[in-house]
């Protein structure tokens, strides 16, 4: 059962071939046995999952099912779940149990899906390797057969590793600068970052409010479409949510690609790209040409400024968002504070990890008097130029294609002491968040036995087109079906 897609499981539940209780037990058994070596989950909600599976079977028997009724999945531990700990991978929230559901959580609950638990992540979604979690690093299931421990990418590394290892057929994730696409690429699964405002951020713990966006991780584009059907939509509780009709993302998956215009940003095929990765990506693009697409080179002139602009804007917003964690209201509080100032300073010093502290300090500095104009304001102006580059490119082409990451998964600990090298892992992904456009990563081959991801980038609200392009590619390749040993 664990090798089947969400779409296949949904059909088998519909036909009565399997029950949700059987399916849930199968996945829980795998999870408890296999996750010891991966650490992809922070919490497993076995009792609740079995109760929900039983309720799903009753719903199906009563003829009240959706495609998701009784299908197991997992939530990234950044989405609030009523009555279930939501830690954001931090000591600061290690004991936080929300009294409400995030909109994304609520949507899956209403659809009848069965949540098996919460997946591991970089602390407060700040990282590219899922090594900064208070609950320990997550290991990529690829490379284990060679006795190597490699990173799964971040910050949604737990979700990507769990899907790749077949511990769960799908998982929610979030993307602030590549946190869905980069782990999807490194773990050989499919992940989509929607247009900013397409998925509600209500109840999704904030890192950088103008960049954060929830999205799906699953094995195939079809499963991503099924997830986005549940996740997308207007939410009046989120002031950044966009009131726009949500199409059925599965409806256009099978449309032919003849005439699709693909642009290759020359800046994304530059010197910092691993040559073997580039070879795999160009091989994928040749497959698109066989499917009837045309390819041309385009330019994103300000691409080289994206990392610098992102690492001013994102920490600045993190500095503001994380100021609420001070020990006064909820979350971790230091023991026996002498006075209010002692409580604030010790709570934050003890509750946050090194990477989160680094970003808070950078962000607070960038927002401080005398530096606001020099850094934050300048970065926002650069952001506007980056956005315009994409707008101009989409006058010429329908989608852009590039590598998702400059190289395959690296060994755990390799870049932990060099933050700048770690930040450069996001060199092909951060500009998409700055512009607010959608993009996805699709498995496109292997280098030294490790997965490589093809990034497909679209114009605003073109998720259906991206999913169609990814699905058609997956009909003629089997990279997304490969399983780690």
Q: Would you name the residues annotated as active-site residues?
A: 76, 155, 179
Give the contacts of 111 (CB within 8 A, at least 6 positions apart).
66, 67, 68, 69, 230
Give the contacts of 138 (CB within 8 A, at least 6 positions apart).
38, 39, 40, 120, 130, 151, 152, 157, 158, 161
Distance of CA 366 to the CA centre of its chain: 27
Closest to 52 in 3D by CA, of 30, 31, 69: 69
Residue 288 in contact with residue 260, Cβ under 8 Å? yes
Decide: residue 144, CB within 10 A, 0-12 exposed, 13-18 middle, 19+ buried.
Answer: middle
Indicate the helix (H) or strand (E) that contains 314: helix 306-321
Q: What angle do CA 306, 307, 312 make, to 5 degrees?
A: 100
Q: Is the dihedral of CA 228, 229, 234, 235 positive or negative?
A: negative
Distances (CA, A) of 154 to 119, 151, 341, 371: 12, 8, 34, 30
DSSP, collapsed to helix, strand or coil, labels residue 275 as helix
As a whole number of angstroms, the distance between CA 470 and CA 476 comes to 10
* Residue 372 in tokens: 């606001």
As a whole number of angstroms, the distance between CA 225 and CA 464 comes to 8
């Amino acid at each position: 059962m664990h090798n089947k897609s969400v779409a296949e499981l949904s059909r088998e539940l519909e036909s009565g071939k399997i029950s949700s209780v059987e399916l849930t037990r199968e996945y829980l058994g795998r999870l408890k046995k296999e996750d010891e070596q991966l650490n992809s989950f922070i919490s497993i909600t076995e009792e609740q999952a079995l109760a929900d599976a039983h309720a799903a079977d009753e719903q199906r028997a009563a003829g009240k099912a959706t495609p998701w009724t009784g299908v197991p999945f997992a939530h990234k531990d950044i989405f609030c779940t009523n009555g279930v700990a939501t830690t954001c991978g931090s000591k600061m929230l290690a004991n936080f149990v929300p009294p409400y559901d995030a909109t994304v959580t609520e949507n899956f609950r209403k659809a009848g899906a069965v949540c098996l638990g919460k997946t591991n992540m970089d602390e407060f979604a700040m990282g590219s390797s899922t090594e900064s979690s208070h609950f320990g690093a997550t290991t990529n299931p690829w490379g284990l057969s060679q006795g190597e421990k490699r990173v799964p990418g971040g910050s949604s590394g737990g979700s990507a590793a769990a899907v790749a290892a077949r511990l769960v057929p799908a998982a929610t994730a979030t993307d602030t600068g590549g946190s869905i696409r980069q782990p999807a690429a490194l773990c050989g699964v499919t992940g989509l970052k929607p247009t900013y405002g397409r998925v509600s951020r209500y109840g999704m713990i904030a890192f950088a409010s103008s960049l954060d966006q929830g999205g799906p991780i699953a094995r195939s584009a079809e499963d991503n479409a099924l997830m986005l059907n549940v996740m997308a939509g207007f939410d009046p509780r989120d002031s950044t949510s966009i009131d726009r009709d949500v199409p059925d993302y599965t409806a256009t998956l099978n449309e032919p690609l003849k005439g699709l215009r693909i642009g290759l940003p020359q800046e994304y095929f530059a010197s910092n790209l691993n040559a073997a990765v580039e070879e795999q990506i160009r091989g994928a693009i040749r497959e698109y040409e066989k499917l009837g697409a045309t390819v041309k080179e385009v330019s994103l002139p300000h691409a080289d400024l994206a990392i610098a602009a992102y690492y001013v804007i994102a920490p600045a917003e993190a500095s503001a968002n994380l100021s609420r964690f001070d020990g006064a209201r909820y979350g971790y509080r230091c023991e026996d504070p002498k006075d209010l100032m002692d409580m604030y300073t010790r709570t934050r010093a003890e509750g946050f990890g090194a990477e989160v502290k680094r970003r808070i300090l950078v962000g607070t500095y960038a927002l401080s008097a005398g530096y606001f104009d020099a850094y934050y304001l300048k970065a926002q102006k650069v952001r506007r130029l980056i956005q315009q580059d994409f707008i101009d490119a989409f006058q010429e082409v329908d989608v852009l294609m590039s590598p998702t990451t400059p190289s395959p998964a690296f060994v755990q600990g390799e870049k932990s002491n060099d933050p700048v090298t770690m930040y450069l892992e996001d060199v092909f992904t951060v500009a998409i968040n700055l512009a607010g456009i959608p993009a996805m990563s699709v498995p496109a081959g292997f280098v030294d036995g490790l997965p490589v991801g093809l990034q497909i980038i679209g114009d605003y609200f073109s998720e259906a087109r991206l999913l169609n392009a990814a699905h058609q590619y997956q009909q003629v390749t089997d990279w997304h079906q490969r399983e780690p040993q």
